[in-house]
Each structure stands twice: as structure tokens, then as C-alpha cells.
Structure 1
Amino acid sequence: MVEKGHNEMEIFEIISHGGGARSLSYEALTAAEEGDFKKAEEIMQKAEEEMLEAHHTQTRLIQDELNDKPVEKSLLMIHAQDHLMTAIAEKNLIERMITLYKRLEAK
């Protein structure tokens, strides 16, 4: 049995960094909509850094579980995983949208 709250900080890190990546991605999309592609690229780089932080934390938790260190399975953990998955999907889609804006601008 895992003591309650054992992985709580890591779970909140996933939520925080995933949310940061998602917010930055939308900020980059706004910059692209305004034609500022340099700014959009800089912001997307920051979004990628946030995403990597979330992913590193998730990987640590997975490794803990694989090494027989119990990881709390809770509604909060499910929320964190859902939050991260959504952030990844939205970031990937926004990257493609920015590429589309660049193509439209070039015409």
C-alpha cells in the first residue's frame, strides 16, 4: 500500500508543467496569428521545455513503479495524466497550425 500523498508533489509537477506548456502553445499561436513568427518560435521553445519537465517527472514515476516503488493511483494522478496528454496533443496541433500560418503569410 502506498501512503497517501506520497507522490503528490510529482503529480502537481506534471499538472503544472503540462499546463504551462499548453498555455505557452496558445500564446505562440496568438503570435503566429499576428504574423510574429519569430516570437511564436521562441514561445514554442519555452513550451517544449515545459513539456520536457512534465515528461521527465512522469518518466521518474514510471521508473519508480517498474522498480517496485509503489506509485499512488488516485483521481489526482489520472487528472495529471489526462492533463499532460491533452497538452501534448494541443501543442502538436498548434505547431502544425503555426506552420500553416507561415505558409499563408508567404503567399
Structure 2
Amino acid sequence: MNMKNIETEIFELISFGGNARALAFDALKEAENENFSEAKKLMEEAEAELNKAHNTQTKLIQSEINGEEFEKSLLLIHAQDHLMTAISEQGLIRHMIRILEKVEEKMKGEDL
């Protein structure tokens, strides 16, 4: 894998991770507005973006395992940080949405 390909892969990590993060936060906003079906749809889209990022990350890891040498740049570290933050936030947002759903169910039960 040449340096140009590595940079493309790095930018894919950043892009897919950023897309996943944005979609997850959009899902949280929908859940805040009690639109849980839209929140679920957006979280599924976020998961698909994270899967793309994982595929890209796996290609980079496999290249290194196969003995391909490439520079470990600050940009690569940034991409990894970006992806890990997106993964972490997605998990937290998924949990927050479940809490909001429980609160909504409880509120509906009290309205009866």
C-alpha cells in the first residue's frame, strides 16, 4: 500500500467516524423529541457508518500485519482518536436513548 492509499484510508476513517458521530447525535435529538422510531433509524445509519470505518481500519491493520511498512503519522493517530470517540459516544447515546424511552413510557403510564 503506497502513501497515497494510506492517506485515502486515513481520511475514510475520519469521514466515516464523523458521519457516525453526527448521526448518533441526530438520533439523540430525535429521542429528546420523543421520536423514537426516527432515533432508531438514525442509530442504524450510524452503525453502518461505523462498520465502514471498521472495514477501513481492518485493511490498515492487515497491511501492517502482512509486513507492509508505512509511516505512523499524526493524521493516522487523529483518525484513530476520531473513530474511538465516535464508538464511545455511540454507545453512550444508545444508552441515553433507552433511558429516554423508559422515561416516556413511565410518563405515559402516569397520564392514564
Contact conserved, 1:7 with 1:72, CA < 8 A, in 2? Answer: no
RMSD of the alignment, in Å? Answer: 1.3
CA contact (8 A) 1:6 1:72 kept: no
Aligned to 2:17: 18
Normalising to structure 1: TM-score of the pair? 0.95
User: Percent identical across equivalent pairs?
Assistant: 52
Secondary structure of 1:35's aligned partner: coil
My pick for the range that moved more, 3-12 or 39-48, is 3-12
**1:52-63 alignment to 2 at 5 Å?**
52-63=51-62
Match of 2:85 in 1: 86
Stretches of structure 1 lacking an aligned partner (at least 5 in a row): none
Which ranges in structure 2 are unaligned for 5 or more consecutive residues?
107-112
In structure 2, the residue corresponding to 1:7 is in which secondary structure? helix
Letter in 2 for 1:81: Q
* Partner of residue 50, structure 1: 49
Deviation digits for residues 57-105 of structure 1 (CA, Å, limit 9, x no counterpart): 0011000000001233100000000000000000000000000000000
Alignment partners' CA distance in 1, 2:104 and 2:51: 30
Runs of at least 4 residues off by over 3 Å: 2-6
SS at match of 2:57: helix
Q: CA deviation at 1:6?
A: 4.4
Count of residues in correspondence between the two structures: 106
C-alpha separation between the residues in 2 aligned to 1:81 and 1:4? 17
The aligned amino acid for 1:87 is A
Higher helix content, 1 or 2: 2
Task: Say if 1:64 and 1:71, in contact at 8 Å, map to a contact too.
Answer: no
